[in-house]
Structure 1
Amino acid sequence: MEQHFLVFKAVAETKNITLSSKKLHMSQPSISLQIQNLENQYGARFFDRTNKGVTLTKEGEIFYAHVRSVLDILSNAKEQICAAKDQRRLIYLGATLTIGEYILPNILAFLYKTHPDVDFKVKIANTESITQDVLEKKIHIGLIEGPVPRHKDLKVENFWEDELVVVIPDFHPWASRDSITLAELPLERLVTREDGSGTRKVMEMALKERGLDLDQLNVTMELGSTQAIKQVVSAGLGITIISSLTVRRECDQKIFKSLKIQDAPVYRPLSILTNAQSTQTKDERLLINLLHDHELLSDVLSKDYNELEEHANRLQLDHHNSE
């Protein structure tokens, strides 16, 4: 019966049997049959069918509200049963690309040292996918960058303000400086993420809000990854505007120099997403508390893996001595 409810919920929310079949990895006839079985069982028509898709009838809307409640109850029951079992603890975690590539590895390495009995299953995807998985309780904690979608079942907590900075190779004529003005940006070849990227969207919105005509920018390359951009910039083929977190190590190694935008610094929030209908476990709260501890988080992000092990061992020793 739970499977029938999941199918009904998917069709009600997508308003399209074809989309639901792709989402659930089921055939369209199978979905139609399960909907028909539910309608026969409850003696009501739940959907009005048209060439454009399906919409809930009045009876369907009533049934949809109850189906959501039942599925939430079953999901919470599964969580409590899993928590009650004597098994290795597992956190399902999702992150967008920048966080997944440049923040999460250090955090997980640190937690593996301090809490070796907790495992993480990680998904790296875009904001829309991570958000949907949190809402469907497929992911316990989502970490995203940039604008956050609004939803009544979504709890959002900011944990970091990520600054977008101008990044140049260390041999660039501007390398002796710490900042530049907006007016100077059009003077250099600019390498950016592809159109539609979250980082690019934040950059363009911020520059436009600060009065810069985007048509003035001399965009010479659009690349699909931050790593590709870094390689092009290190070769002296242009400058870029990206997250300061992504170039922290290269700046320490004197490969890059990051410059603040003098008259209009650009920040974007990094956020924690959780399902408002779920209660976090002790292990999930541990991770969330670490993300909110700015001093510890900054320390963890600034270290390499060997240093992280020493740091974790030292913290464990301090905690043991304080008990």
Structure 2
Amino acid sequence: MNLDYLRSFYITVQCNSISKAAKELHLTQPGLSMQIQNLEDEVGATLLIRSNKGVELTEEGRVVFEHAATMLSLENNIKKSLKNIEKSKKTLSIVSCKSLGEYVLPCSIYTFKEIYTDVDVKLEVYNTSTVIKKLLAHDTNIGIITGPSELENISTTPILADKLVLVGGPDTEFDSITLDELMSLPLILREEDSTSRLLLNNLLYKHLIDIDDLNILLSSNSPESIKSSVSFGRGFAFLPEIVIKRDLRRGDLKKISIKDFDSAFNYHLAYRKNYEFTSYEAVFKKFITSSKRCFCY
């Protein structure tokens, strides 16, 4: 039996009026009448007699009306019970920048889950600007970003130090260069709105170098794509050290030092200012800033 039709019938009897019931149910009168007709077709009996004085139940209608209250109450109780189950679930939503989200956090989340087995974790990975947008839009309560945020309504806590590293393919013949020599290297960089690109821009600016004056071959939003291109000798790239550590150990990439170039930065836990964490979000914040976090890279 269609419960929507049953509900329409039940409300109509309570209101003793098709027009009043239609208004309460946000239906047109013809639409409501059609639903009652459909219910009557389902049960194979006329349930209401319509008149200028309102509606009157038939004998079959009285039977259906008596059971309707029980059936609709049961439906409501089922929905409440399902909502209570949903509320009792602890789902931790984390939105992270790509460097940590793709290379470091999965191992840490695995450790977190081993300790806190009752918390489900949902991890999404974007660039830092998107992470901040999702925090501001209340799509998530916990973000992990590259560098600090200058927004007044976003609070941050440093969780890991890193540095931008210049890398070339394994057959690169030199180990170090000067900033002047950097200008002629063919570079593959992160996309323009990425924080890694912004960090590089700010670092170069300290040395009076405009990033647009570099020899940029192409830009990509994928660290893996950049690493692949560099490993095949297609160019050089600036990437966070945690992104390339395994590649350096395997010999797929080669680290190139730049004289007098300090490229250190921090990753931060980010959240809305004055936001009150749930109990399990607070537990994760304590975990990710502790020695138990087990970052793997």
Q: Match of 1:131, as an amino acid?
A: I
Q: CA deviation at 1:103?
A: 2.3
Counterpart CA distance in 2 for 1:239 and 1:126 is 21
Q: Match of 2:295, as an amino acid?
A: V
Change beyond 3 A, Cα 1:225–1:136: closer
Q: Match of 1:167, as an amino acid?
A: V
Q: CA deviation at 1:97?
A: 2.5
* 1:45-84 correspondence to structure 2 within 5 Å: none
CA RMSD of aligned residues (A): 2.7
Counterpart CA distance in 1 for 2:134 and 2:163 is 27
Q: Match of 1:268, as an amino acid?
A: F
Task: Structure 2 unaligned segments of length 5 or more: list them.
Answer: 1-82
1:241 aligns with 2:233: no
Counterpart CA distance in 2 for 1:164 and 1:202 is 8
TM-score, with normalisation over the residues of structure 1?
0.59
Q: CA deviation at 1:215?
A: 4.9
Counterpart of 1:131 in structure 2 is 132
Q: Match of 1:173, as an amino acid?
A: E
Are the aligned partners of 2:129 and 2:195 in contact in 1 as well (CA < 8 Å)? no
Counterpart CA distance in 2 for 1:204 and 1:132 is 22
Q: CA deviation at 1:124?
A: 2.6
Q: CA deviation at 1:82?
A: 7.9
Are the aligned partners of 1:168 and 1:234 in contact in 2 as well (CA < 8 Å)? yes
Are the aligned partners of 2:96 and 2:124 in contact in 1 as well (CA < 8 Å)? yes
Counterpart CA distance in 2 for 1:263 and 1:218 is 20
Larger radius of gyration: 2
Counterpart of 1:95 in structure 2 is 96
Are the aligned partners of 2:185 and 2:235 in contact in 1 as well (CA < 8 Å)? yes
Give a deviation string over 1:99-124, Cα, whole Å, max 9, x none: 22222222212222332221112233
Q: Match of 1:162, as an amino acid?
A: D
Change beyond 3 A, Cα 1:123–1:215: closer
Change beyond 3 A, Cα 1:118–1:209: same
Change beyond 3 A, Cα 1:248–1:290: farther
Change beyond 3 A, Cα 1:186–1:93: same
Counterpart CA distance in 2 for 1:83 and 1:185 is 58
Q: CA deviation at 1:84?
A: 12
The aligned length equals 215
Task: Say which SS state the counterpart of residue 152 (structure 2) adopts.
Answer: coil
Instruction: Choose which of 225, 238, 260 in structure 2 pairs with 1:228.
Output: 225
Counterpart of 2:296 in structure 1 is 301
Q: CA deviation at 1:213?
A: 4.4
Are the aligned partners of 1:193 and 1:200 in contact in 2 as well (CA < 8 Å)? yes
Task: Say which SS state the counterpart of residue 201 (structure 1) adopts.
Answer: helix
1:204 aligns with 2:205: no
Task: Say which SS state the counterpart of residue 106 (structure 1) adopts.
Answer: helix
Counterpart CA distance in 2 for 1:217 and 1:92 is 39
Are the aligned partners of 1:192 and 1:240 in contact in 2 as well (CA < 8 Å)? yes
Q: Match of 2:169, as an amino acid?
A: P
Counterpart CA distance in 2 for 1:226 and 1:256 is 13
Change beyond 3 A, Cα 1:136–1:239: closer
